[in-house]
Protein backbone atom coordinates (compact mmCIF):
# COMPACT_ATOMS: atom_id res chain seq x y z
CA UNK A 1 0.00 0.00 0.00
CA UNK A 2 1.19 3.52 -0.67
CA UNK A 3 0.13 7.08 0.11
CA UNK A 4 -0.26 9.65 -2.63
CA UNK A 5 -1.05 13.37 -2.64
CA UNK A 6 -1.18 16.07 -5.31
CA UNK A 7 0.44 19.39 -4.39
CA UNK A 8 0.39 22.69 -6.26
CA UNK A 9 3.62 24.69 -6.21
CA UNK A 10 2.63 28.16 -5.02
CA UNK A 11 5.89 29.95 -4.30
CA UNK A 12 7.22 32.38 -6.92
CA UNK A 13 10.39 30.52 -7.82
CA UNK A 14 9.12 26.94 -7.69
CA UNK A 15 11.42 24.09 -6.72
CA UNK A 16 14.70 25.71 -7.77
CA UNK A 17 18.04 24.85 -6.15
CA UNK A 18 17.61 25.94 -2.51
CA UNK A 19 14.01 24.76 -1.99
CA UNK A 20 14.76 21.56 -3.91
CA UNK A 21 17.72 20.92 -1.61
CA UNK A 22 15.57 21.37 1.49
CA UNK A 23 12.85 19.18 0.01
CA UNK A 24 15.35 16.40 -0.74
CA UNK A 25 16.81 16.70 2.78
CA UNK A 26 13.35 16.27 4.27
CA UNK A 27 12.54 13.35 1.97
CA UNK A 28 15.85 11.71 2.90
CA UNK A 29 14.80 11.66 6.53
CA UNK A 30 12.20 8.98 5.85
CA UNK A 31 12.67 5.28 5.28
CA UNK A 32 9.89 5.06 2.70
CA UNK A 33 10.50 5.12 -1.02
CA UNK A 34 9.27 8.53 -2.17
CA UNK A 35 8.54 9.46 -5.76
CA UNK A 36 7.65 12.85 -7.23
CA UNK A 37 5.64 12.89 -10.46
CA UNK A 38 5.12 15.79 -12.84
CA UNK A 39 3.58 15.35 -16.30
CA UNK A 40 4.00 11.55 -16.20
CA UNK A 41 7.69 11.90 -15.32
CA UNK A 42 8.63 10.05 -12.11
CA UNK A 43 11.76 10.85 -10.13
CA UNK A 44 13.22 9.77 -6.81
CA UNK A 45 12.24 12.50 -4.34
CA UNK A 46 15.49 11.90 -2.45
CA UNK A 47 17.57 12.91 -5.50
CA UNK A 48 18.41 16.60 -5.95
CA UNK A 49 19.06 16.03 -9.66
CA UNK A 50 15.76 14.22 -9.99
CA UNK A 51 13.78 17.00 -8.31
CA UNK A 52 15.55 19.74 -10.26
CA UNK A 53 14.96 17.89 -13.54
CA UNK A 54 11.20 18.10 -12.98
CA UNK A 55 11.28 21.86 -13.54
CA UNK A 56 8.49 22.32 -11.00
CA UNK A 57 7.71 26.00 -11.33
CA UNK A 58 4.91 28.08 -9.80
CA UNK A 59 1.45 26.80 -10.62
CA UNK A 60 2.52 23.27 -11.53
CA UNK A 61 1.07 20.33 -9.67
CA UNK A 62 3.26 17.46 -8.59
CA UNK A 63 2.15 14.15 -7.19
CA UNK A 64 4.06 12.79 -4.22
CA UNK A 65 3.87 9.07 -3.66
CA UNK A 66 5.41 7.23 -0.70
CA UNK A 67 5.58 3.57 0.15
CA UNK A 68 7.10 2.17 3.31
CA UNK A 69 6.92 2.11 7.06
CA UNK A 70 6.62 5.90 7.47
CA UNK A 71 4.73 6.71 4.25
CA UNK A 72 1.93 8.73 5.84
CA UNK A 73 4.29 10.91 7.89
CA UNK A 74 6.55 11.42 4.86
CA UNK A 75 3.72 12.68 2.66
CA UNK A 76 2.30 14.83 5.45
CA UNK A 77 5.63 16.56 6.11
CA UNK A 78 6.59 17.00 2.47
CA UNK A 79 3.18 18.44 1.57
CA UNK A 80 3.42 20.77 4.58
CA UNK A 81 6.83 21.94 3.37
CA UNK A 82 5.57 22.70 -0.14
CA UNK A 83 2.24 24.25 0.87
CA UNK A 84 3.13 26.09 4.08
CA UNK A 85 6.85 26.42 4.78
CA UNK A 86 8.15 27.12 1.28
CA UNK A 87 5.84 30.09 0.52
CA UNK A 88 6.84 31.66 3.87
CA UNK A 89 10.54 31.48 3.01
CA UNK A 90 10.23 33.98 0.16
DSSP 10: -
Give the Cα separation of 74 and 90 in Å (integer).
23
Establish whether 59 is a catalytic residue: no
CB 18 within 8 A of CB 88: no
Question: Which residues lie across from 61 on neighbouring strands?
Answer: 8
- From residue 16, alpha-carbon distances to 13, 22, 23, 41, 73 in Å are 6, 10, 10, 17, 24
Instruction: State the catalytic residue, choosing from 5, 16, 60, 76.
Output: 16
Residues involved in catalysis:
16
Amino acid sequence: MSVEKKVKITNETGLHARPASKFVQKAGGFNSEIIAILNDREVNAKSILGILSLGASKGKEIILKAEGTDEEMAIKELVNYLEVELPKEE
